[in-house]
Amino acid sequence: MIRFRIGILAIAVAGFAACASPPKAPPPAAPAPELVPEAVPEPEPPRDLLVELSAAEVLGDTDEMASLARELAADPETDEALMMDLAEMMASIGETDFALSAYQDAAEAEAAQDEPDFSRLIDLEARMAEIAAEADMADEAVLHAGRAVGLVNDHLGADHPRMAPLLAFVKAYELDLDAVAAAGGLYEAEEAEAVLAESVDRARMDETVLPSSRGTPAPRIGGEEPPFDIVKVFYGTDRKPAPVKNIKVGERAVLDPRTYYSAERGDLETGSVLVSVPRNRNVGEIPKPSVLRFDFRPDPAKHVILGDMKVHANMTAFVNDVRRELAVSERREIFVLVHGYNTSFDAGIERTAQLAVDLEIDGAPVFYSWPSAGSLFSYGADRAQITDEAVADLEAFLTVLSEKTGAGHISVVAHSMGNEFLVRALDKLAKREEPKQMFDEVIFASPDVEAGEFREMVSGFGPLAGDLTLYASSKDRALQVSRRFNGTGKRAGESVDPVLLPKLDTIDTSNVTDGGLGHSDIFGGAFTDFQAILWLSLEPDKRCVLGRREDGGAVTWVLGNPRTEFCGSEAFQTAIVTMRRVGMERSAEVMSEEALKAGALGDLPKASVWESALKIFQWLPLAGAVLPEDSPKP
């Protein structure tokens, strides 16, 4: 994974030699000339090529960008993830050979693994085909497109929704479809045309709703049911469509979410994207997300692949589509994610789908995307997107979700720089005449917002949401860099001298930071606490994994400092998941049965976890009033 090396260079301060006082002596005949100490030259600060590259990008100096990229590529400490960022940047300035070479090296390294990630290989080959096609290298584009089609055909099946954008790309760039079809195992162009048409028909279900909470079983491959579901992710964005080539099949455009939108601002649009997500759902066991750190640009999770997308003609079409999705769910939930810095449209869609599955959203997962450049080197460009017009777009989108969809429960989560957009949009909503509750939970995760501004705006959000939660950390190195980059005070996501407000629950995640930048604890060490908020609307005093710290008469809740001896992280997760899945009425019965079953099988550790989960459930009615630290434990 990439190390986040954007730092602030410190310039050493030179010292001066002290002048010693001369010993007492008879007065000289004439005063001695004053000695002037020699100035010590300031040392040259060390070079940081990433900082220099960022500056060159801001200036648009493509020659300098290319030169610095080659220096970084030659550095043995440059890892593969950084090479991918460099490849994207070089492709954007016409350095095609560099970009293709970097992607080819990554593909060969992945293919050489004992268990290659085929979904990643598909994306690598597809990206090489796109880069080559944009550079009018038709033979090279056919080669890589054929490989990508073959990987989908072999490992996901010809009827997987990932196939349609690949074949549509081939037709849009007028590549040799016969050659691509043969390389991909489809034998001839006619079969590829048929696969494309069938894939589009399946992906575009105007009358049949895909229940995203449970997932729609993917088409069978070779008579066997594949280990993934199809999730429908809705989106709103004010990104401008990119000038890419698209085709129509049966009067319907085949759109690729990886290339459709640019990093420029346009009009507010809505749509949906189909995403395949792996299945792994046993009661009491939800694996920690491993690709949701946001600190890096991780490889796609295995079998998490974007398929066909649809752009709505207008907001009414969006509302109707969401309402149909909610109609087939039980809880009628809407989960909204507003992404942070360095997030492309397609990466955000993937992460929203993964969160929808890990959070078992029963309704409609929704992604809001502002025009981030999706580049490690574009922090300044991303921050420049925070404008009144952009904030107004998010305000309008949130208003539609709240007032038009008929949702039963709406949760809104913003991460990192995405909080700049969210708090300003909520500030406008809060200043409306007679503001009313619009959301059940609003969660500010590692907000990259100046703390004073955040405090002033959030203090007026009380009427808008049932619960407001801030996740902050003293180990968030990304925010420490941001503070110095912006030349302002501390950021709201820093827990040293935390932001504390009457209607805001502040959670200090410093104890559970699990490496990296410490910038995405909500998707790592704090994920189960996050689930407890979204699933059960549990207040902090009912979440036993949280300790209590008094800060000047207010309270900071400390994750990783449980208030009961039986509230380990695994037991708390088991309790939360069970309460979500079987309901409060049956939870005690199920936990007791599972504990007895594990004990009978001789699995004492598992039995202990279920017994502790039962104690947590039984403790909840006692937790309405906060137990002091010296109180007897129930």
Q: How far apart are CA 352 and CA 346, in angstroms?
A: 10
Question: Is there a contact between 196 and 254 (Cβ–Cβ < 8 Å)?
Answer: yes
473 forms bridges with which residues in the sheet? 494
pLDDT at 165: 80
232 forms bridges with which residues in the sheet? 274
Question: Is there a contact between 236 and 397 (Cβ–Cβ < 8 Å)?
Answer: yes
Tell which CATH architecture fits domain 49-216: Alpha Horseshoe (1.25)
Q: How far apart are CA 593 and CA 360, in angstroms?
A: 24
Yes or no: domain 228-306+313-564 corresponds to CATH 3.40.50: yes
Q: Which residue ranges make up each domain of the chain?
A: 49-216, 228-306+313-564, 565-626
Q: Which of 353, 134, 138 is nearest to 235 (CA)?
A: 353
CA distances (Å), origin 133, targets 96, 179, 273: 10, 15, 24
pLDDT at 204: 52
- Which tokens go with 592? 């007791």
Question: Is there a contact between 250 and 238 (Cβ–Cβ < 8 Å)?
Answer: no
pLDDT at 294: 35
Q: How far apart are CA 591 and CA 608, in angstroms?
A: 11
DSSP helix/strand/coil, 506: strand
Q: Give the predicted TM-score (pTM) of the model.
A: 0.77
In this predicted model, what pLDDT tens digit does every residue of 346-386 receive, in sequence order? 999 988 998 998 899 999 999 999 999 888 778 888 999 99
Q: How far apart are CA 431 and CA 504, in angstroms?
A: 18
Q: Which residues of the chain, if any, have pLDDT below 50?
A: 1-25, 205-224, 281-303, 624-634
Question: Is there a contact between 416 and 440 (Cβ–Cβ < 8 Å)?
Answer: no
275 forms bridges with which residues in the sheet? 231, 306
In this predicted model, what pLDDT tens digit does every residue of 259-302 receive, in sequence order? 899 999 999 999 999 888 766 533 223 233 333 333 322 233 34
